[in-house]
Structure 1
Amino acid sequence: MIRSIQGRLNIAFIGLTLTIFAILWVIQGSTLRGIAYEFVGTRLSSDVFTLLQAIERADGEWQLDTRRISPVYNQPMSGHYYQYQINEGDWVYSRSLWDEDIPTRDGFGVGQLHIALQMKNAEPWLVYDHTFQKQDGTVRIVLAEDVSSIEAELKRLGWWVGAVGVVFIAVLLLAQIFIIKRGLKSLTQVRQDIARLKQGDIRTLPCVETTEVSPLVDEINYMVDSMCMRLDRSRNAVGNLAHAAKTPLTVIDRQIEVLKQHSPNCAEALQQQSAELRGLMERELTRARIAGTALPGQRVMIDAEVEKLLKAMRMIHQEKGLQFEVDIKSKTFFPGERDDLIELLGNLIDNACKWAQSTVRISGVLSETCLTIFIEDDGPGIPSEKREQLLSRGERLDESVSGHGLGLSIVTDIVQQYQGCFELLDSDLGGLRVHLRLPRNRDTQLS
């Protein structure tokens, strides 16, 4: 089944045009043949009456005055022939017939006329058969004309008409393709605008002048606006939930501090569960916040956000005196929410700062298909057999390093929501290298 609108229209047009052309071809062939045979029949009718007048009865015998008929009937095999009989006697043949005769039918009476196309020696003859009453006798005159030359010309004309028709159909098809392309230009423009919307170049689809396409554009813009409002409501609800949960957890923590004076073991167990509850709540709230993923038309320039994050990291890890190497290509953007980018890079850069000895390197580039980011440090690194454990929920390889261990797990959730991937590798700085890849378009599959 052809899915292309243009392809369907072209096939329908070709089928309809060929059908009409075939009908017209048959009609014109039949019409021209009828006109040609009518012309020949008219000439034969004139020759019949000329021949009838040339047949006279003298001294009791019927004779033909050959001086009164066309000389063409006296030329052997000229293509013009006659034969006649008087009172159903013997046939008298023209010299042009030579030793042949004209095919006739029996049973014709006086005044009867019969015109038919008959084959003689594999050649078409138009036979004109008419019976007259003259004086006291019956005269039957049969004329024939070889119309093979007419048939050849009609056949040649048919081929010419067919060739012209093919050229005409081709011209019409090209014209239709041009017209259809112009007619579908608005759909092509909408497709390009949707691609720009996915890339983040525009926030809504521009209006189109085509009456049939304009409602589609309006519905898409309405859907985008609805998604924005739903996501805003969802994130507001998540924020309210996070704010409301802080107070009960704070009260629980204070009660745990009081409980430590009377039952340290019980307080320590409750404190551990409280910390676990905080971590799980943070994780689920983060997952809920990124569940909507990026809306169409959103993009965040990475270099500016990295600079803001590094200012915060320099203050947080001021005592380590870290050196940051940044190589973000110009016009490199994140195709999604700014909060997701901050959550993503914030966790990765913070982990790199915690383990780095002196240097953290951040690089990124945007290709036609995906965004690639590398975050490296010169720390001790992670053995390959323990890297999968690090990505597990809540796992930490070194309990002496602060943090609840959910950072990389949250990163995994964000990357999965954006249909990306990341892996832990060895860095040439000596530590860990995080390789992050996110598709530029949501319909792009990363290999």
Structure 2
Amino acid sequence: MRSLRQRAIVGGLIWAAIIVAIGGVALFYFFDALTLRRFDTALSDRHRQVVAALGNSGGGLDEIETFLTDPAYNRPYSGRYWQISDADGNVAASRSLFDALLPVPDHATPDRNFWNDTGPEGPIRGIVSMIGLEDGSTWVVSVAETLTALEIDRQQIRQSLLTTFAFIGALGVVGAVLQTSAVVRPLNRLRQDVSHRWDSHDALEPGDYPDEVSPLVADINILLDRNREIVERGRRQAADLAHALKTPSAILRNELDVLATKGIDIQQAQNALDRVDAQLTRSLARIRAVNTGAATRSMTSLPNSVERMMRLFRSMPEVQEKTIERDVPETLEIPMDAQDLEESLGNILENAVNWSKSAILISAGESERDIWLMVEDDGPGIPEQDRREALRSGGRLDTSAPGTGLGLAIAADLAQAYGGDLALDHSVGLGGLSVRISVPKRHGLSGRDAQQD
């Protein structure tokens, strides 16, 4: 589990479940003991009432009932009973016992003792003690009550506890989610701020974040500065290298032209130099794209770049008899550097011009995640089994046509540098080849991975 939010929520829920379970068990035992204590207290009160009735009657067993007015004592098997016995074995009992008697201990004591047994209608709990009257007589007084009422009380309390704990648990889940969201919010804000501050070349303010995050913010500022420096250095080095190689290449071409004027066959050397130039162009484009694609968040107007490239190609003699049309929304922007976009589009258009018969269509649009640009032609197209080879460095399917075989490969490299891709397919509208570049709308500092929130 890699998400801090999920870890915090799951951890909080597990800990809360443990606390609720422990608290629930403790409360169950506490309330069970509490209800038993209340039951025993009521039982003791009724025992005192029977003892008082015995004292008021002066030991007359026939008169005791007149002092006990609880209707439950007169209803057979009502669950509430009393019983009195003397030393001679005479017994008086409540009518609720009907034809049964309560158990009598062999050795009763003046201290009240609780006992559990089985009564006429199930388990009962009672209290017994030996009582001495002023006339010197001793009596064993027992009072008992069915445990059914006790169990009903316990069940009601347990049900109330379960309902309460379920409600508390639901509140705990909501609270854990809200608390975790509040704790993680500064990190989400930091992620967004890093991307925005990179665009504006501003530094993050550690004081705008919680104390626990402030040291991280300060470190991110240092990393952003170093990254900007690396990006700028890489772009400068790529530009310097391109400039340094142009002069030797131009000299070699001039020398080859001189040799050609002397009747020397330079075709093989010319082809080799073309391939060297193309490979250098691809390598430099890749270096530049790596240092601009995922590291910068440039936005380029697609209609402006497409129109500029169309004017350039329409001015070429070999395009005079061909039509180049476009279908690009006027407000559409693509997250690419303008130079990289136009280099990709130029390579794709050059391929379309070389192979088309009479028509080329440039279209663009957007999906939920990507901005796409597509170039279609009415040429022979590329069979599906050969499309991978066409994107390979120097992969030429027909050496009779001009070119180095690197145009589509360079365009694919540039698209990948921005977290996108280049796909070859059959053109439904024109019947030839369609070349489609897709670039994520949000490439962030780490390419396509930035979309995976």
Q: TM-score range by the shorter chain?
A: 0.7 to 0.9
Q: Once the two structures are superposed, what CA deviation does each residue of 1:251-275 show, in whole Å capped at 9, x if it has no partner?
A: 444555666789946x666555444
SS of the counterpart of 2:179? helix
SS of the counterpart of 2:287? helix
Partner amino acid for 1:70?
L
- Displacement after TM superposition at 1:325 (Å): 1.4
RMSD: 4.3
Alignment: residue pair count: 432
Matched ranges for 1:19-34 at <5 A: 19-34=22-37
TM-score of the superposed pair, with normalisation by structure 2: 0.76
> Does structure 1 retain, via aligned residues, the 8 Å contact 2:371–2:440?
yes
Which stretch has the larger CA shift, 356-365 or 431-440?
Answer: 431-440
Matched ranges for 1:192-203 at <5 A: 193=192
Matched ranges for 1:30-429 at <5 A: 30-52=33-55, 54-55=57-58, 64=61, 66=63, 69-70=67-68, 75=74, 77=76, 79-86=80-87, 89-96=88-95, 97-108=97-108, 111-134=110-133, 137=136, 139-148=138-147, 150-155=149-154, 157-159=156-158, 161-162=160-161, 164-166=163-165, 168-169=167-168, 172-173=171-172, 176=175, 179-180=178-179, 183=182, 186=185, 190=189, 193=192, 226-253=226-253, 264=264, 270-292=269-291, 293-295=293-295, 297-317=297-317, 320=320, 323-356=323-356, 359-378=359-378, 380-382=379-381, 384=383, 390-394=390-394, 403-417=403-417, 418-426=419-427, 428-429=429-430
> Does structure 1 retain, via aligned residues, the 8 Å contact 2:123–2:147?
yes
Partner amino acid for 1:75?
N
Q: Distance in 2 between matches of 1:214 and 1:44?
A: 72
Which stretch has the larger CA shift, 151-160 or 394-403?
Answer: 394-403
Q: Distance in 2 between matches of 1:175 and 1:404?
A: 63
- Displacement after TM superposition at 1:170 (Å): 5.2
Q: Distance in 2 between matches of 1:335 and 1:50?
A: 98
Which stretch has the larger CA shift, 353-362 or 323-332?
Answer: 353-362
SS of the counterpart of 2:99? coil
SS of the counterpart of 2:107? coil
User: Structure 1 residues 214, 300: CA separation in 2 closer, same or farther (over 3 Å shift)?
Assistant: farther
SS of the counterpart of 1:80? strand
User: Structure 1 residues 94, 302: CA separation in 2 closer, same or farther (over 3 Å shift)?
Assistant: same
**Percentage of matched positions with identical amino acids:** 22
Q: Distance in 2 between matches of 1:262 and 1:430?
A: 46
User: Structure 1 residues 361, 268: CA separation in 2 closer, same or farther (over 3 Å shift)?
Assistant: closer
Partner amino acid for 2:238?
V
Q: Distance in 1 between matches of 2:159 and 2:289?
A: 70
Partner amino acid for 2:156?
L
SS of the counterpart of 1:422? strand
TM-score of the superposed pair, with normalisation by structure 1: 0.77
User: Structure 1 residues 40, 202: CA separation in 2 closer, same or farther (over 3 Å shift)?
Assistant: farther
- Displacement after TM superposition at 1:27 (Å): 1.0
- Displacement after TM superposition at 1:41 (Å): 0.6
- Displacement after TM superposition at 1:363 (Å): 0.8
Match of 1:13 in 2: 16
Q: Distance in 1 between matches of 2:247 and 2:191?
A: 50
> Does structure 1 retain, via aligned residues, the 8 Å contact 2:61–2:92?
no
Q: Distance in 2 between matches of 1:225 and 1:218?
A: 11
Q: Distance in 2 between matches of 1:320 and 1:127?
A: 114
- Displacement after TM superposition at 1:85 (Å): 1.9
> Does structure 1 retain, via aligned residues, the 8 Å contact 2:299–2:335?
yes
User: Structure 1 residues 439, 317: CA separation in 2 closer, same or farther (over 3 Å shift)?
Assistant: farther
Gaps of 5+ in 1: 57-62
Q: Once the two structures are superposed, what CA deviation does each residue of 1:119-178 show, in whole Å capped at 9, x if it has no partner?
A: 323434443322245568561322213244641551353255235414642563365256
Partner amino acid for 1:376?
E
Match of 1:60 in 2: none
Q: Distance in 1 between matches of 2:68 and 2:286?
A: 108
Q: Distance in 2 between matches of 1:36 and 1:395?
A: 94
Q: Distance in 2 between matches of 1:242 and 1:101?
A: 114
User: Structure 1 residues 250, 153: CA separation in 2 closer, same or farther (over 3 Å shift)?
Assistant: closer
SS of the counterpart of 1:107? coil
- Displacement after TM superposition at 1:356 (Å): 4.9
Partner amino acid for 1:289?
R
Q: Distance in 2 between matches of 1:271 and 1:423?
A: 30
Q: Distance in 1 between matches of 2:221 and 2:346?
A: 33
Q: Once the two structures are superposed, what CA deviation does each residue of 1:60-110 show, in whole Å capped at 9, x if it has no partner?
A: xxx546167425597364623122222xx324222534432221222345x
Q: Once the two structures are superposed, what CA deviation does each residue of 1:375-410 show, in whole Å capped at 9, x if it has no partner?
A: 2345x5346387666545435567676544421221
Q: Distance in 2 between matches of 1:257 and 1:427?
A: 44
Partner amino acid for 1:306?
V
> Does structure 2 retain, via aligned residues, the 8 Å contact 1:33–1:154?
no
Which stretch has the larger CA shift, 169-178 or 365-374?
Answer: 169-178
SS of the counterpart of 1:291? helix
Gaps of 5+ in 2: 443-447
Q: Distance in 1 between matches of 2:233 and 2:122?
A: 91
SS of the counterpart of 2:128? strand
- Displacement after TM superposition at 1:217 (Å): 6.4
